[in-house]
A and B are shown apart, each in its own frame.
Chain A
Amino acid sequence: MERTTTATTRPVAVLLERPPRQRTLSSTVIEFLRHSPLNLLGVVLIALFLFLVVFGSVLAPHDPIQPNVALKLQPPSPTYWFGTDELGRDVFSRVLSGAKYSLGIAFIILSIAVVVGTLVGLIAGYVGGLVDELLMRLTDLFLAFPALVLAMAIAATLGRNLQNTVIALTVVYWPWYARLVRGQVLWLKEREFIEAARAIGASPWRIVGRHILPNTLAVIIVQLTLDVGYAVLATSGLSFLGLGAQPPTPEWGTMIAGARTFFRDAWWYMTFPGLTLTLTVLGFNLLGDGLRDFLDPRTRRR
């Protein structure tokens, strides 16, 4: 799935009415949750799926990998809540175990993308000049690649597996963070407290670490929550095509691909992984939207 929007166009710090340190984290969170019921829903969904990423396999009532063909394509029942697939495996167990692939992989991708992007953005923004220009052109270059097509090219040459999916999608996502962080850095550079820090002779690292990074964190987090949804859709899309996760991995996209043949007579097989995917992405989108609205004083004041 292509990313279709960025976070706020203005540095977030200017929108906060006070420097971030003066409010407690918990009060902010509570206010956020009370701001809109959708925010609460988003957080609940995310918590649920993050929980599954870690504990999904443990909670699965049946073996998600081992086939048992005698039980193939059975409708949902008290034993098999989501029914069984064409090899007799419990769909519910597979959905639970699949979270760590569909969602976990997305996190890995974004973690790497954030680290790389932040580094590049920090350097570009702080150092400025030619270095900045060069790095930004590099960013633009990578921004030119539509995710799915590049991932296909990488799968074709390097092979079809989840590792290569990670490589492909990381390449696609890191430029956004570079741009974002650079923008923040550029803006913050001119603020008084940075000037003051420089005046007293603080080292660049200290300035970056104590002043710039914390302020850009909010922007990164908002962007991150919005991106998780896209990353999950991209990962599952690639697995659906057979270019990412390979059987018998219970990745949700792979399951939907396998379910396609049997949709006519086994609606449960395709429906539940699809719904789970939708809900996962929905949760992150709701959170991302909510955070953005929350941090933007225009929508908050009303």
Chain B
Amino acid sequence: MDLRRPEESLALLLAARSGRLTRRQILSRGLALGLSTPTILALLAACSRGGETPTAPAPAATPQPGQTPTGRRESTNREFVVLFIGGVPDLDPQSAYDNQASALFLACYEMLIKLKGESTFDYEPMLAREWLHNDNFTEFTFKLPPNAVFHDGSPCDADAVKRSFTRFLKMGRGPVNVISRFVEDPDQQIQVVDTTTIKFVMTKPQPLFLAAMASEYGPLIVSPKAWDEHKTADDEFAHDWFSQNIVGTGPYKPVELLQQERFVFERFEQYHGERPFFDRIIARVVPEDATRRQLMETGEAHACAYINPEDLLAMKQNPNLQIVEYDTTEVDWIRMNYARLNAKARQGFCYAWPYQEVIEKVLRGYAKPINGPIADTVIGYDPSIPTYTTDVQKAKQLLSEAGIKEGDTFTYMYSSGDQTDAAMAQLFQANLAQIGIRLELQQVERAALLELAYGDTPPEQRPHFMSGGWWPDYNDSWNQIYPNYHSDSVGSKGSNAMFYQNPEVDRLMNQLKDAATEDEIRRLTGQIVRILTWDDPAAIFYAQIKKATVLQKDIRGYVPNPIYINSYNFWAMWREAL
């Protein structure tokens, strides 16, 4: 029973027993309530229906070609310009783990299914037209449209999908954990039934599999033909080529990809699905806060997900703009270099961070304090774990116990583009200066930070501190922690940029992956978070973030999704003629 909302869980149980709900509804509500896998399975078993249930969605109201859906006065301007905060160094969707890249991917690549609207558990078709699974979530079948093609003209059939997933899992970069958790052996577990049907077979019940398949990080389908054409002896997965080029099945194809400047996409005429509104999508890289704001105010840009809190507060008064705010599961942190700082030192630094000032004065309320890497709406969050408070003297004591002397210098790297990063870095620097510690700030371009983080430079050559943040690909604590703090995720294999390697955490994580009850999930997550925050700190966890996207007032259909953070639902957006 979910301790947070017992009434709703009870209501759900009763509804399930009475047979009033479909299995899909039980599953989605159960997940929305944060129930664990075994609890959901139990609920589903309590449901009186049995056997395979097709979970094909109701067909969306598709307007006939050329016909405007009733009631919409569409503008003739079909170009959409969004602003980015920095360059995108890696365009390989099966390797990139940064949210600007995934915002682009939603335009030109496809997953099999995607999240619907603002739901985190309702899905709608993307590449797959229909999907179904068996009762105990061990077999998932997806049906593809017969006419799906890649941008290079090759057909996207079940075989292509299998090959794409095989590449993803065997390459083992970045977001691989999203699917590798469920599919360890692609050859065996991914089965081509016929040209338009593909089946994924699990080794045990996995009700979270669909949620993972809707993630915008990882399970995107790339063209195997392009892979074959561009693989080399040194680069068997053609990663280098895919990091510079895009060949997907999405409704937009790339026209210009200048990774430090702009990305231009145009409508892909052979797209298999519903025609989206915009003809052209342009993402422009603008690293200066002030310029982004200016471009939004002059109307030259139409959307931006990266406006800093000071500007947001001012722009709220602007009648030409709409600001859409939404709570998220994003937690921001400052990673600490595991190889260069011992546990006591890291604890000391945690006490030196200016928590209150950052939340109130720098982030201006677009954040709240957090006690670890798990946001308060994610399963496994434990409110009993205390948060740090700023205590500079305690920091000094711990640091000197750790062997750090006055005058020692440490490096702190953060990216340009967001002035709040610069502000909090300087506040941290000032706190440390009070106790005689020198902090050298290294501001680098966003793409450079990403390259370093997701590359394979050894930790001794990395800075002591690196700013960052994360949110889960689906509502799951294992998914939030594994890519960031498991020793398997170091370097290019995940997002463990500061090489955190704690054997106890690894052990607990492996248990968590296979946890059978809800209580077990909570217990294990709590233990892990305690270690990550207090016993062997991995990072300074300073905020859970509230986001805001700024749009021109004539943009319609935008729905922020707490999982697809900083992304746009291009398939549903349009511009009204005002």
Contact = CB atoms under 8 A, between A and B. Distances in A.
A270 to B, nearest CB: 10
A248 B440 CA distance: 10
Interface string A55-99: 000000000011101101100000000000011000000000000
B430 A66 contact: yes
A247 interface: yes
B11 interface: no
A67 B290 contact: no
Contact of A261 (B289, B427, B441): B289
A86 B418 CA distance: 13
Contact of B357 (A65, A69, A258, A261): A69
B426 A248 contact: yes
Contacts of B288: 260-261
Given A260-B290, A261-B419, A265-B310, A87 B426 contact: yes
A86 B421 CA distance: 12
A36 interface: no
Interface centre among B293, B310, B425, B440 (most CB of A within 10 A): B310
A145 interface: no
Contacts of B423: 69, 86-87
A111 B186 CA distance: 69
Q: Secondary structure of the B side of the interface?
A: helix
A193 interface: no
Nearest to B314: A265
Contact of B441 (A66, A247, A262): A247
Contacts of A104: none
A191 interface: no
Given A69-B362, A262-B290, A264-B290, A246 B440 contact: yes
Contacts of B440: 246
A265 B308 CA distance: 13
Contacts, number: 52
A200 B310 CA distance: 78
A247 B429 contact: yes
Given A258-B422, A262-B290, A264-B293, 15 more contacts: A69-B361, A69-B362, A70-B361, A73-B310, A86-B419, A87-B426, A87-B427, A247-B429, A248-B426, A248-B430, A260-B290, A261-B308, A261-B419, A265-B310, A265-B314
A160 B440 CA distance: 10
B419 A65 contact: no
B56 interface: no
B426 A67 contact: yes
Contacts of B311: 264
A261 B290 contact: yes
Nearest to B429: A248
B443 interface: yes
A65 B314 contact: no
Nearest to A263: B290
Nearest to B294: A264
Contacts of A274: none
Interface in B483-499: none
18 contacts: A65-B430, A67-B426, A67-B430, A69-B357, A69-B361, A72-B361, A73-B310, A86-B310, A87-B426, A160-B442, A246-B440, A246-B441, A247-B426, A248-B430, A261-B289, A262-B290, A262-B310, A264-B294
A69 B422 CA distance: 13
B461 to A, nearest CB: 14
B433 interface: yes
Which 8 A-B pairs give the minimum distances between C-beta atoms? A69-B361, A261-B289, A261-B419, A69-B357, A67-B430, A261-B290, A247-B426, A67-B427
A31 to B, nearest CB: 49
Interface in A139-181: 160
Interface string B46-79: 0000000000000000000000000000000000
Interface in B398-457: 419, 422-423, 425-427, 429-430, 433, 440-443
